[in-house]
Structure 1
């Protein structure tokens, strides 16, 4: 098994390639982002504070000058606290897919309550959300939880448009989390429509899907910008957790993406058992690149099976009304991928020059441009 000389990505990772020194293309992507955003340098900090000034100027006289998606997790909780420190006026936004853990819900209440931040929530009908999740399970594709990502993005845009806000702050850090390889996680609104139309049983009435037209409306007409502060400044997830625990009595939920039970099932059971993909390698590789963990430690941790909550599989079966036999058949059966279904991927590729301009203007994330706007080359399939 060939492993990158700098991180723990191996030859089974989608779209991976290695240079003559054994360094993978994903490490080089991170290097490029660090150079572009001057991440964790005085210049990067200065550039970010310049954006903060722009946000304040655009929001002058308004109740809110930015919106921030909150999940009860480390990154989003720390982000809202930093927003107040920077003197911003954030509106917290939450998309409730009805699979939240009690810890996550309480974390949101604790942080927002102490900081005095308003919360905008969109709660999808639980039967409708479950019908979409079930559709992706029946479709045999990896993105069983992809609808949550799309719905959160659409909810953020709707909240920003409602209150005349021009900026969305996202808590992603490529230094702490890496960038998920394309193929391990792809989703768009067209993909959701395709899968649900074929396998769903209920109409999508309350689910906030983002169609291609709505995506262009938010970016080209409303010109709502998406910015990621942690791409500019120094950010350490462990230190952020310590701060949150001390200041808000915030509780850790046990691991990355475990604040939501569907996401926990996806990362701890569905991905690794059906698709042999363990996305812990993203954060572990990031920790190795940044020097927070040596490679041997990361490989030892990666060799251990993911933590699986004792009741998560029975809960999944019960909520989605899937029998033991049907569950086993699907988990051990055919594997399919996004390129076997109708998506917006080819449109994104054809419009790559447009999305490059939008990414440079912060109207779409740069990671979207890098992952979605180039032809996908499968590796390790």
Structure 2
């Protein structure tokens, strides 16, 4: 049997994780290990993730954050969603790291009740203030509907970009120079660009073509604002779990025990739009299941066998009851229109205007900014190199 085919005779699968040949721009070495596993190994070496050198580096970063925040009400910003990573990071920031965070939330008006309750359950006992930007629900839905009608995958991209912009705004308002993010490449991987791209120009171009009302309350981050935040305001983004050992299951157990925090059923399911994207839209329309990111991470970390991960990956994703009906009703879609759009040929981000080529041309600048923690390293790795265009 050829290397890499031990889980599926029809397609090549990485011998270390469960990424297969359908993953964007994947390649395999002579041992059948994919380039994404090798990329993560390089990041572990670079950041000292889970090692004494990583802890020491993060300790130095903490000292810098505290010094920069001296005599200020807050010394860092933490984006919160009600999910595991951000909730646990707030706990650690206060109880373990001695920080004075301001929690920031972008409300796209699709939050689950559990997520909203989780935010309160963690912040209130910790006496952490919350800064929230609530977008006009009709405007948010118009953007979501635009992406759905465009038949592109990034239906929830506007939420991710808006949260980044709102955190920058809160940092500027309170004179904070550091934003902490809960991402862990060890537990989540770094999602290949594939059908997972977004920037301000992409969102604006999709909305201009398919939207019906102007953008007013939505916090759009265009290229000029992005450069301002990173090169003029110089607000740094730190991902503590790129340096520290982090176990999501242990984090969840602590949150449940200490804060009566509730699990929402799966990774990325704390928001109903996000849940629709991961459990319905991406698998059914694009034949893309992003569970392979978390499952592959569990395999790499020895928390799950490749066979068990592959079996789960090839099982139907959990779909919340009446989620599709809720999506249709919120966006004003008839069953016929919904079915028609879902049946249309899938389109991709590179068919619409984006900043991607500009990011590639400016790669040397973004390398410097990534080294200084002024842009996330994952942005540099994913967006600043040419991407294989897939048919």
TM-score (norm 2): 0.96
Partner of 1:251: 262
Cα shift readout 1:106-161 (whole Å, capped 9, x = no counterpart): 00001000100000000000000000000000111000000000000000000000
Distance 2:25 2:272 in 1: 29
| Matching of residue 287 in structure 1 with residue 301 in structure 2 | no
| Matching of residue 56 in structure 1 with residue 66 in structure 2 | yes
Cα shift readout 1:170-195 (whole Å, capped 9, x = no counterpart): 00000000111111310000000000
Distance 2:340 2:196 in 1: 22
Deviates more, 1:40-49 or 1:117-126: 40-49
Unaligned regions of 5+ residues in structure 1, if any?
none
SS in 2 for 1:68: strand
Partner of 1:180: 191
Distance 1:213 1:106 in 2: 36
Partner of 1:361: 372
Distance 2:51 2:329 in 1: 49
Corresponding pairs, count? 380
Unaligned regions of 5+ residues in structure 2, if any?
1-10
SS in 2 for 1:226: strand
Distance 1:349 1:228 in 2: 23
Segments ≥4 residues shifted beyond 6 Å = none
1:121 to 132, 144, 161: 132
TM-score (norm 1): 0.99
Partner of 1:29: 39
| Matching of residue 42 in structure 1 with residue 46 in structure 2 | no
The 5-angstrom pairing of residues 1-381 of structure 1 reads 1-84=11-94, 85-378=96-389, 381=391
Cα shift readout 1:278-331 (whole Å, capped 9, x = no counterpart): 000000001111111111111111111100011100000000001111111111
Distance 2:90 2:326 in 1: 31
Cα shift readout 1:342-379 (whole Å, capped 9, x = no counterpart): 00001100000000000000000000000000000145
Distance 1:122 1:166 in 2: 19
Distance 2:213 2:129 in 1: 33
Cα shift readout 1:263-289 (whole Å, capped 9, x = no counterpart): 000000000000000000000001111
User: Is the CA contact (8 Å cut-off) linking 2:195 and 2:349 kept in structure 1?
Assistant: no
Distance 1:282 1:330 in 2: 27
Q: Let me know the Cα RMSD of the aligned residues.
A: 0.6
Structure 1 residue 15: deviation in Å?
A: 1.2
